[in-house]
Structure 1
Amino acid sequence: MATGQAPRNPIPAMRTYPPVEHPVVVIGPQYLAQYPVELAVNDFKVSDINGTLVFKVKFKLSSINRLFLNDAAGNTLVNLRKKTMTMHGRWEAFRGESKEENDLLFTAKKSKTEVDVFLGNNKGEVPDFKVKEGYSKSSRSILLRDSNTMIAQVHGRDTLAIMPNVDYAFIVALLVVILEGINPDDHREGAALKGINGVIA
């Protein structure tokens, strides 16, 4: 599949979820589905409910503290970089393999038990999305801003439930940050790869 070509959407989820009022697009409109999507994560390969590979996460030995989200064809959609020596654990997500400021898609930082997510053009203090712990520490909800409008849920370390009209590639990129456990006290070189069972490029 050539870069930029619309992907084959994942198989619809069995369960139903209410659609968001306006489409949520961060990585690209080709990753919107008009139906709810459930994805499974296994060794950082992301598949739909039929087991069809949708995304995979890689890291490169030459790129410490960076992770790469690829589509099923191997095209790099996003690279995620952990910033070190900051007061809060912070990640930056860039389009493709770029590190340029104009390709910044979002930043994410941990604040107590929450993760605040700011889109690349948001220079303010109010996040565009929030990740909050659910009833158990193994479940999390991804919400629009400070509202109770949920756009996705993370169940444990291996299941994603995504609402209709939500960029599911963005949610998977955000899941990488969530699972990595943004740790404001861990600034060691290479800490971003700790616990990641990804694919070495």
Structure 2
Amino acid sequence: MRSLLLVWLGKAIAPLYPLELIVRKKIKKLSNAQFEVFDLSGNLLLQIDGGVWNFQLKRVLRDPAGFPILTMRGKVLTLWHKWKAHAGESTDDSNVLFTVKQSHPLQIKKAINVFLTNSSKKKEPDFHITGAYTSLSFKVYEGRRLIAEVKHSFTLESFCKGKEKYRVKVYPEVDYAFIVALLVILDENDTP
């Protein structure tokens, strides 16, 4: 799989080995949440900021130094939960890296399609995500190949404190920033 964000980071973020990540979500105030992505050694790899519970669904994925890598924007007031991811801080439609769209507005099991570039008019998605609505755990597939697994460590105490945690397993040659972006988008869709 080609790396979507290599150009922006200037370094490889699609390692040749499986990678385990810890993603921590902190709700700072009613309209702001931040995600931080760490490797198992505790090194900060990525950070994501942006508002929650507001009408401007926008998240910015940044490298550890704070430089923007990816901007994710969601469509408001739609049944289809559609998001577009732009390179850097751009919002220009000519700069779309991928589009995330719910496969059907009324579904029992979570099924999300991901289309590279601005090709959501294609019938077959480049990637698809499956999971259950009872938890934020899910799997990401490229065709039939499993490329990542996300497990949500939910407890009522962590939810009440505004701190949630995910364990992410990214398989070899997969861009972990892409997987983290999908996690953030799905978390935003599932936030009440």
Q: TM-score range by the shorter chain?
A: 0.7 to 0.9
Of the three residues 164, 170, 177, the one matched with 1:169 is 177
Of the three residues 154, 158, 166, the one matched with 2:150 is 154
For residues 1-201 of structure 1, the aligned pairs below 5 Å read 23-28=1-6, 30-43=12-25, 44-59=35-50, 64-111=56-103, 112=107, 113-122=110-119, 123-133=121-131, 137-145=135-143, 147=144, 149-156=145-152, 157-181=165-189
Higher relative contact order (CA 8 A, sep 6+): 1
Normalized against structure 2, the TM-score is what? 0.75
Q: Report which of the two has the higher share of strand.
A: 2
Letter in 2 for 1:154: V
Cα deviation per residue 1:100-145 (whole Å; 9 max; x = unaligned)? 12210111112322111111142412110000016x7442110013
Letter in 2 for 1:59: G
SS of corresponding position for 1:158: strand
Residue 15 of structure 1 is matched in structure 2 by none
SS of corresponding position for 1:33: coil
Cα shift at 1:60:
6.3
Runs of 5+ unmatched residues, structure 2:
26-34, 153-164
Cα shift at 1:87:
4.1
Q: Distance in 2 between matches of 1:121 and 1:109?
A: 12
Identical aligned residues as a percent: 33
Aligned-residue CA RMSD (Å): 2.3
Residue 31 of structure 2 is matched in structure 1 by none
Cα deviation per residue 1:159-198 (whole Å; 9 max; x = unaligned)? 110001001111111111121125xxxxxxxxxxx57xxx
Cα deviation per residue 1:85-109 (whole Å; 9 max; x = unaligned)? 4341111100000011221011111
Residues 114 and 80 of structure 1: CA distance in aligned 2, closer, same or farther (over 3 Å): same
Normalized against structure 1, the TM-score is what? 0.72
Cα shift at 1:32:
1.2
Runs of 5+ unmatched residues, structure 1:
1-22, 183-193, 196-201
